[in-house]
A and B are shown apart, each in its own frame.
Chain A
């Protein structure tokens, strides 16, 4: 191991002005999407050559273009490409990469992969195999944590064999309980049960999901802490027994146990609790001789009691917010540590500078259970990088396809400010300036969350979404003032378009006589409502101006003196057209109670009925899997099954007819 080159500058600017230490010549990134791009960026900064791997459908993906070299490792399904260890090992050999960064997901916590790399003398940029093994198994990790004097949740320290076992154990621990995959993570294979029946159902789903996601269907059960916060500690350790905690990340805003909005630091922790959590996290890291970056997840109850949840032995999706407040480049630190360098920093060097928020921008429909995957081509895509203190980690660009094969995350949008209020207001601007067309996305939900009074006051828990939107997210409810502004903007747009249509350029054989109109009577359809307006060009009540035109994707408008950034869909009609519209017949809507359509694109895992069966209301009809999540579709009424249009293994699109009832 060569000695690290000396740094130029003082302590605080170390990682910024430090000449990169000699580490590796070439690193292969065994991942795709934004995290592959993220790792490549640091490689470029450190002067390391990067190798991308990709499936055939990803051949022109951003991470492939960014990397110095790229190797195709198989067809689209992840099991045949990004999880295909043989092909990735071949890629390592053929490109001569000295180390592998696994990113998150895929092979990042796969002990087998780490072993194979070690066998060929290739460095795995992550912890040693034994730490992955110890922490990768939830049952074992809990035992180790207990031994290391880390607070743990009461529960059953063993594998649950059958549904009956599950019920028995659940009764012993006391409801509610959490059933989760022993090998799991990221909310997959996880179910909460409040009674025996739900325990049985949860056991079945979790073991199926666990089997398909991790190839390991072992489950465990523990006490479910109601209304907790999810707060995690970033740790960083080297191979010389040194470990640091890099403060916390609050990740309580979740849907279906998957994080949506994260921030660092947490509004909830005081310095005493922070230190206690940090120290326990470091104890755990040391107990497994952890090296590299890792995350210790805790559940924190309303009395600031915290319980160890699990340790993720990899770079976490939400690591950028920690980077923002500490000034460290975690990927760079991981590479250094993997090469065997000692940590550069001491615990007292780790600051909390300002506040950082991360929103996960997903291609999904937020109006369906806070987000069901959507797919499509990004026909227009523009990141809000024109704003300061905004970081966007993405692996896609205009024209990219969001396919059913991979995670539907579009990007991680991170904003930073000296205070939380500043970071939040920046986030609001950034979301407003984000242009995504071609797929349904969750920006409306994200914007609603970060502007919600409860979120702003810091009064959140993992139940935030279901509590705030008990009937599901219905979209932003406009107040009268805002609605007026929006309608005025729509009218301004409509009139601009009308006036333009009246102007034909060039010499005209037949003269054109445009309507001289300064007073417009219009009607706008906004959501369910119909609003009539009178517009006076020059001299109206709501003044709309701004630098925009009819080709703009974003509308920077000045409405009554306030600057706004708008993107909207409103149908504007002349008053006459709106009046005549009342004669138009309503299209007869399909009777949806007797048909079952796929709520999202995915594949059919199971069909539980056949024609002629009688189903009860709420009975499961079939199970659709999309992006590794299983969704049970149930009957809306008691009926006889008329026809089944799908069979297991089939790929279905959103809105495809699955089953017809009589």
Chain B
């Protein structure tokens, strides 16, 4: 079928001078724009296992909802033969516009690798900036589909200026509308900083790369032999560097997942956390939780089991599932309402906090706070990870980020202590003291400065009968009462009732209003 844009009537200029512009020329331009760099390059793109810029947009958005802008924009470079007609492509190397995902407004740009390898020209940047500006004024998210070889070298500084224009908008839009980057091809050099500034960076396995400098430059500077995949592939960034938040199998998988992910997000910081019809009863008792925490305090269990069992329909969109696995973060719904979930993971490194998990958690908490998404925190934390590696790496300032993020957050905050809440980590994990709205403890909870063994060694240093002292300490502190009698937890609840209680509390907290003191901006310990 013909593209809807082709069916428009001819242009009329002025009233008495009615010049009918040859419609064929408009059609020709539109047709040219639709095929980007031409069929040969489209085939090459497909051969690489990648979709074209337009196919991606079509799949991401609701059918026929895409409204394109700047289809006629061309680059303005006149050096190196670029001014020749054969080097001009209507729309240049990016497709931009707005559309709907499940009926909800979103702005999109999709870089076209078939035109000059998707390289960024001044015009390309201008197109992106235009939709970002409008997204901000309207209050709707921006999704960028990145597939670009880098700067348009022929344009020189104009290309660099273009990047900077985008970076500036990324920063200004930060915390105003959600920004999502989906890396679907190369993204190298300065270009990487746009995704880095957005709220979420997702990647496609095997076909996407993110790096400051490619393997060749690495080889010449540091003499390291490294492949593209090792240096900046999806696996590297989702497991080692923590640059990307999730990786998907292929383009189709990634785009369909983006649609699901988008459903969780509010359109802007002016909107409340979205609510979807919920089929899962909000008062459902989750009896399997009564037995999930093992009797032995040193034995691990999977925090994801708790999360899946509590949230609506076991639907949990985990963010950074392969990085800093000792903390679990992600989106879910409670009685239809989007919530952010943070949980220590006893299965990995006993669920302790370290540099990476603190930073991972902090960034997620801040996103939720910026966009009015309530935060539910499941606590089972034995403390911060000791050792020179952590101290030298700056666990003090990185741990402070998580503390800062929880303390600063003014969205509804509900905390459930499932087992251990030891030491400073107890304070950090959305405790009552950091303005937690509702703090629950399961009967298996133990809130203490440290584990019994360590504590007894200090309190009863040199004394015999350590075992007896340990038993006394356990009796006194290894239970939820010390915290409950002081009002640091609001209630001790049966695990099976957790879902019911959270849903009920969220209903009440929906009208929560809390304002931090005026400031130009806060100064999180970066």
Q: Give which listed residue, A399, A506, A508, A549, contacts B279 with CB less than 8 A.
A: A549
The main secondary structure of chain A at its interface with chain B is loop
Chain B residues with CB under 8 A of A378:
288
Q: How far is the CB of B134 from chain A (nearest CB, A)?
A: 12
Chain A 488-522: CB-based contact to B (< 8 A → 1; otherwise 0): 00000000001011111110111011110100000
Given contacts A500-B277, A551-B312, A580-B55, contact A59 B295 (CB under 8 A): yes
Q: How far is the CB of B457 from chain A (nearest CB, A)?
A: 26
Chain A residues with CB under 8 A of B507:
none
Given contacts A399-B288, A577-B256, contact A585 B270 (CB under 8 A): no
Chain B residues with CB under 8 A of A517:
63
Chain B residues with CB under 8 A of A577:
59, 252, 255-256
Q: How far is the CB of A646 from chain B (nearest CB, A)?
A: 23
- Answer whether residue B249 sits at the interface, using C-beta atoms and an 8 A cutoff: yes
Q: How far is the CB of B114 from chain A (nearest CB, A)?
A: 14
- Answer whether residue B105 sits at the interface, using C-beta atoms and an 8 A cutoff: yes
Given contacts A580-B59, A585-B250, contact A399 B313 (CB under 8 A): no
Q: Give which listed residue, A377, A502, A503, A515, contacts B63 with CB less than 8 A.
A: A515
Given contacts A504-B276, A505-B276, A512-B103, contact A399 B139 (CB under 8 A): no
A397 to B280, CA, bound (A): 20
* Interchain CB contact under 8 A, B104 and A512: yes
Residues B247-286 near A (CB distance < 8 A): 249-253, 255-256, 263, 267-268, 270-272, 274-281
Chain B residues with CB under 8 A of A587:
206, 249
- Answer whether residue A581 sits at the interface, using C-beta atoms and an 8 A cutoff: yes
Q: Give which listed residue, B58, B103, B207, B287, contacts A514 with CB less than 8 A.
A: B103
- Answer whether residue B297 sits at the interface, using C-beta atoms and an 8 A cutoff: no
- Answer whether residue B102 sits at the interface, using C-beta atoms and an 8 A cutoff: yes
Residues A221-265 near B (CB distance < 8 A): none
> Which of A59, A399, A508 is the most central at the interface, judged by chain B CB atoms within 10 Å of its CB?
A399
Q: How far is the CB of B45 from chain A (nearest CB, A)?
A: 9
> Which of A498, A517, A549, A552 is the most central at the interface, judged by chain B CB atoms within 10 Å of its CB?
A549
Residues B227-256 near A (CB distance < 8 A): 249-253, 255-256
- Answer whether residue A162 sits at the interface, using C-beta atoms and an 8 A cutoff: no
Smallest Cβ-Cβ distance to A588: which chain B residue? B206
Chain B 175-217: CB-based contact to A (< 8 A → 1; otherwise 0): 0000000000000000000000000000000110000000000
Chain A residues with CB under 8 A of B62:
514-515
Chain B residues with CB under 8 A of A567:
none
Chain B 97-117: CB-based contact to A (< 8 A → 1; otherwise 0): 000101111000000000000
Q: Interface residues of B, CB < 8 Å — how many?
A: 58
Chain B residues with CB under 8 A of A505:
275-277, 336
- Answer whether residue A379 sits at the interface, using C-beta atoms and an 8 A cutoff: yes
- Answer whether residue A594 sits at the interface, using C-beta atoms and an 8 A cutoff: no
Given contacts A379-B308, A399-B288, A502-B102, contact A585 B275 (CB under 8 A): no
Chain A residues with CB under 8 A of B289:
399
Smallest Cβ-Cβ distance to A575: which chain B residue? B63
Chain A residues with CB under 8 A of B206:
585, 587
* Interchain CB contact under 8 A, A399 and B249: no
Chain A residues with CB under 8 A of B77:
none
Q: Give which listed residue, B104, B276, B288, contacts A397 with CB less than 8 A.
A: B288
- Answer whether residue A421 sits at the interface, using C-beta atoms and an 8 A cutoff: no
Q: How far is the CB of B242 from chain A (nearest CB, A)?
A: 24
A118 to B280, CA, bound (A): 55
Residues B32-65 near A (CB distance < 8 A): 46, 49-51, 55, 58-59, 62-65
Chain A residues with CB under 8 A of B55:
580
Residues B85-136 near A (CB distance < 8 A): 100, 102-105
Chain B residues with CB under 8 A of A552:
279
Chain B residues with CB under 8 A of A502:
102-103
Given contacts A500-B277, A551-B280, contact A398 B256 (CB under 8 A): no
Chain A residues with CB under 8 A of B164:
none
- Answer whether residue A425 sits at the interface, using C-beta atoms and an 8 A cutoff: no
Chain B residues with CB under 8 A of A506:
272, 274-275
- Answer whether residue A638 sits at the interface, using C-beta atoms and an 8 A cutoff: no
- Answer whether residue B475 sits at the interface, using C-beta atoms and an 8 A cutoff: no
Q: How far is the CB of A407 from chain B (nearest CB, A)?
A: 20
Smallest Cβ-Cβ distance to B260: which chain A residue? A501
- Answer whether residue B305 sits at the interface, using C-beta atoms and an 8 A cutoff: yes
Q: How far is the CB of A520 from chain B (nearest CB, A)?
A: 10
* Interchain CB contact under 8 A, B291 and A513: no
A400 to B308, CA, bound (A): 15
Chain B residues with CB under 8 A of A510:
104-105, 138-140, 267, 271
* Interchain CB contact under 8 A, A513 and B100: yes
Q: How far is the CB of A393 from chain B (nearest CB, A)?
A: 20
Q: How far is the CB of B374 from chain A (nearest CB, A)?
A: 14
- Answer whether residue B309 sits at the interface, using C-beta atoms and an 8 A cutoff: yes
A550 to B281, CA, bound (A): 11
A259 to B464, CA, bound (A): 58
Chain B residues with CB under 8 A of A397:
287-288, 291
- Answer whether residue B160 sits at the interface, using C-beta atoms and an 8 A cutoff: no
Smallest Cβ-Cβ distance to A378: which chain B residue? B288
Given contacts A399-B290, A577-B256, contact A379 B305 (CB under 8 A): yes
* Interchain CB contact under 8 A, A398 and B288: yes
Q: How far is the CB of A573 from chain B (nearest CB, A)?
A: 8
Smallest Cβ-Cβ distance to B278: which chain A residue? A551
Smallest Cβ-Cβ distance to B64: which chain A residue? A515
Q: Give which listed residue, A399, A503, A508, contacts B276 with CB less than 8 A.
A: A503
A398 to B104, CA, bound (A): 38
- Answer whether residue A584 sits at the interface, using C-beta atoms and an 8 A cutoff: yes
Q: How far is the CB of B254 from chain A (nearest CB, A)?
A: 10
A588 to B33, CA, bound (A): 35
Given contacts A513-B103, A514-B102, contact A60 B291 (CB under 8 A): yes
* Interchain CB contact under 8 A, B279 and A580: no
- Answer whether residue A589 sits at the interface, using C-beta atoms and an 8 A cutoff: no
- Answer whether residue A583 sits at the interface, using C-beta atoms and an 8 A cutoff: yes
Given contacts A515-B65, A550-B313, A551-B312, contact A504 B49 (CB under 8 A): no
* Interchain CB contact under 8 A, A501 and B263: yes
* Interchain CB contact under 8 A, B276 and A501: yes
- Answer whether residue A576 sits at the interface, using C-beta atoms and an 8 A cutoff: yes
- Answer whether residue B292 sits at the interface, using C-beta atoms and an 8 A cutoff: yes
A585 to B51, CA, bound (A): 11
- Answer whether residue A56 sits at the interface, using C-beta atoms and an 8 A cutoff: yes
Q: Give which listed residue, A377, A509, A514, A551, contacts B313 with CB less than 8 A.
A: A551
* Interchain CB contact under 8 A, B49 and A515: no
Chain A residues with CB under 8 A of B278:
551
- Answer whether residue B24 sits at the interface, using C-beta atoms and an 8 A cutoff: no
Residues A505-552 near B (CB distance < 8 A): 505-506, 508-510, 512-515, 517, 549-552
- Answer whether residue B79 sits at the interface, using C-beta atoms and an 8 A cutoff: no
* Interchain CB contact under 8 A, A576 and B59: yes
- Answer whether residue B468 sits at the interface, using C-beta atoms and an 8 A cutoff: no
Chain A residues with CB under 8 A of B277:
500, 503, 505
Smallest Cβ-Cβ distance to A72: which chain B residue? B295
Given contacts A399-B290, A515-B63, contact A504 B251 (CB under 8 A): no
* Interchain CB contact under 8 A, B279 and A509: no
A399 to B290, CA, bound (A): 8
Chain A 551-585: CB-based contact to B (< 8 A → 1; otherwise 0): 11000000000000000000001001100110111
* Interchain CB contact under 8 A, A584 and B251: yes
Chain B residues with CB under 8 A of A400:
291
Chain A residues with CB under 8 A of B314:
379
A56 to B298, CA, bound (A): 13
* Interchain CB contact under 8 A, B252 and A504: no
4 more CB-based (< 8 A) A-B contacts, given A512-B105, A551-B312: A498-B102, A503-B276, A515-B65, A583-B46
Interchain Cβ contacts under 8 Å between A and B, 17 examples: A377-B302, A378-B288, A379-B309, A398-B288, A399-B287, A399-B292, A400-B291, A500-B276, A504-B275, A505-B277, A509-B271, A510-B267, A513-B65, A515-B62, A515-B100, A549-B279, A585-B49
The 10 A-B residue pairs with the shortest CB-CB distance, nearest first, are A399-B288, A585-B49, A549-B279, A514-B103, A551-B280, A551-B279, A512-B103, A584-B250, A398-B288, A60-B291
